[in-house]
């Protein structure tokens, strides 16, 4: 019976904290429930809709949604082990700078250029696996509908396996490691919830989640440890992957990364790097399949620029394919790979928002989905228009382009901006260009052709039929698009 008074005291304390938080934020416009408890944001995180709710809040109250209570060190809740911070979760500025300094070598232009043949190899596997579904001449020209979400995830995971662990997971050619998708889904779901309400980890939710996914987690851990051990025992200098640079540490201080840090960085690179790239490619294919004029223009550009798909590689020629990059940016604007509300803690004593003072220690949240769909910045914000990203000789159009570029934040902003941006663009551009050079695509017919799109009459912001639907859990879950593929009709491959 002694436990019941303790439970009662705990509930009473939570109520007092909620009341205190509500009194503090009541002067800020916003949902009343959000001023009482962070469980409000947890609910939308579980549903994968925090970005859509952030958009609604911004549109209704004309501010960006901020935390309702004081928090600290949110990202400590999603480290794989105590003290095992990655570049993403590092809170201390000096720690982040140290890690970013090492990481910048792995993501430099020269390092990516050295790694490019590996990316191209996985692109070829991606095309080969799609082509296996294309029937012989007697069976018709087009493949059966193929779900692109698992295929893009497998492609991106293989690339990141090579980059972050020193070896591909062979996701595209074997089902042996497909359990990684389940492990990733579980990890990102829990991370998304913890980032909205860190105290849930203290209340025992972490132990419950561990019990539910213990087999998958342990299997992933064993595989990762084996790959890391194998890679670190190989001191081959010409393998300029992530572990090569991590194992060397800071060039000046020679301070090595601990094994916990190595594990944290490799795990983060696999999940964040693979999932965001997969979302970007899936989104682009969704929008191209629903915008025939854009698909025709981009396909024609790639095929007239390159005599063979082996010629497609990073460099000036690909850089000059401006409509390719515009298409990628437009898809990432409409469906950013990270739409989560990412928290930043106020450290300045004189910080204000809209004239209101926000005390140091308060967390503020921001989702890139909000400015990306702001009609005052992007004309017809839910339409897929790559042309909006092309330079113009018209001063008015050029001025709007510059305003759009300032609002475009799929990789974040400032010193915490995604360090892997250059790598992500390389993976997406090479895969898209090579695939469109070799294959024709079209949207699947009937019911499966609508998978991935919004539904007319749906609630909670999911009624837009021409929008690729994302479900936010730090990174994004999605399904589709279902596409049919055929060898390009104008030339034998």
Which residues fall within 8 angstroms of residue 245, CB to CB, at 6 or more apart? 102, 103, 105, 106, 111
DSSP-derived secondary structure for 151-163: HHHHHHHHHHHHH
**CB atoms < 10 A from the CB of 388, how many?**
19
> Cα angle vertex 338, ends 335, 342, to 5°?
135
Distance, in Å, from the CA atom of 431 to the CA atom of 155, rounded to the nearest integer, reads 9
CA dist 107 and 336 (Å) reads 21
Residue 418 annotated as lining a ligand binding site: yes
Which residues fall within 8 angstroms of residue 169, CB to CB, at 6 or more apart? Answer: 157, 158, 161, 177, 180
Distance CA 37, CA 54 (A): 16
Cα(256)–Cα(235) distance, integer angstroms: 15
Alpha helices in 166-273 (DSSP H): 179-196, 199-202, 205-212, 214-232, 242-248, 259-268
Distance of alpha carbon 439 from alpha carbon 8, whole angstroms? 64
Distance between CA atoms of residues 301 and 280, nearest Å: 20
- In the annotated binding site, the residues are 418
Binding-site residues for heme, please? 418
């Amino acid at each position: 019976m002694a436990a019941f008074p303790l439970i009662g005291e705990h509930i009473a304390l939570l109520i007092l904290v909620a009341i205190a938080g509500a009194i503090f934020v009541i002067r800020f416009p916003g949902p009343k429930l959000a001023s009482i408890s962070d469980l409000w944001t947890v609910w939308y995180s579980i549903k994968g809709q925090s970005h859509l709710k952030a958009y609604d809040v911004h549109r209704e109250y004309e501010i960006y949604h901020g935390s309702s209570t004081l928090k600290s060190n949110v990202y400590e809740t999603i480290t794989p082990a105590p003290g095992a911070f990655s570049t993403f979760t590092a809170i201390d500025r000096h720690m982040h700078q140290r890690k970013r300094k090492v990481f910048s070598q792995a993501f430099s232009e020269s390092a990516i250029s050295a790694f490019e043949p590996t990316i191209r190899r996985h692109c070829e596997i991606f095309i080969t696996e799609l082509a296996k579904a294309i029937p012989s001449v007697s069976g018709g020209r087009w493949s059966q509908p193929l779900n692109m979400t698992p295929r893009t995830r497998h492609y991106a995971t293989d690339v990141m396996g090579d980059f972050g662990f020193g070896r591909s997971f062979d996701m595209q050619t074997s089902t042996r490691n497909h359990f990684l998708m389940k492990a990733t889904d579980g990890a990102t779901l829990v991370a998304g919830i913890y980032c909205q309400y860190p105290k849930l980890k203290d209340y025992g939710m972490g132990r419950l989640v561990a019990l539910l996914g213990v087999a998958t987690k342990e299997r992933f851990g064993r595989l990762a440890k084996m790959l890391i051990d194998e890679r670190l025992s190989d001191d081959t200098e010409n393998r300029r992957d992530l572990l090569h640079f991590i194992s060397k540490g800071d060039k000046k201080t020679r301070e090595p990364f601990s094994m916990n840090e190595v594990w944290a960085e490799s795990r983060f690179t696999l999940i964040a790097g693979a999932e965001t790239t997969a979302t970007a490619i899936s989104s682009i294919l969704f929008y191209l399949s629903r915008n025939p004029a854009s698909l025709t223009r981009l396909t024609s550009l790639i095929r007239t620029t390159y005599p063979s798909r082996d010629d497609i590689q990073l460099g000036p020629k690909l850089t000059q394919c401006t409509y390719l990059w515009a298409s990628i940016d437009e898809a990432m604007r409409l469906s950013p790979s990270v739409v989560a509300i990412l928290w930043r803690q106020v450290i300045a004593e004189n910080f204000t928002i809209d004239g209101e003072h926000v005390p140091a220690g308060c967390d503020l949240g921001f989702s890139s989905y909000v400015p990306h769909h702001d009609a005052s910045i992007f004309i017809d914000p839910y339409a897929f228009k790559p042309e909006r990203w092309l330079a113009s000789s018209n001063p008015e159009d050029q001025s709007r382009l510059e305003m759009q570029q300032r609002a475009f934040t799929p990789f974040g902003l400032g010193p915490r901006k995604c360090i892997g941006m250059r790598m992500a663009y390389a993976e997406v551009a090479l895969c898209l260009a090579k695939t469109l050079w070799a294959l024709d695509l079209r949207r699947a017919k009937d019911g499966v052709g609508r998978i991935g799109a919004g539904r007319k009459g749906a609630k909670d912001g999911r009624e837009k039929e021409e929008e690729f639907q994302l479900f936010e859990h730090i990174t994004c879950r999605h399904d589709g698009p279902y596409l049919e593929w055929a060898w390009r009709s104008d030339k034998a491959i």
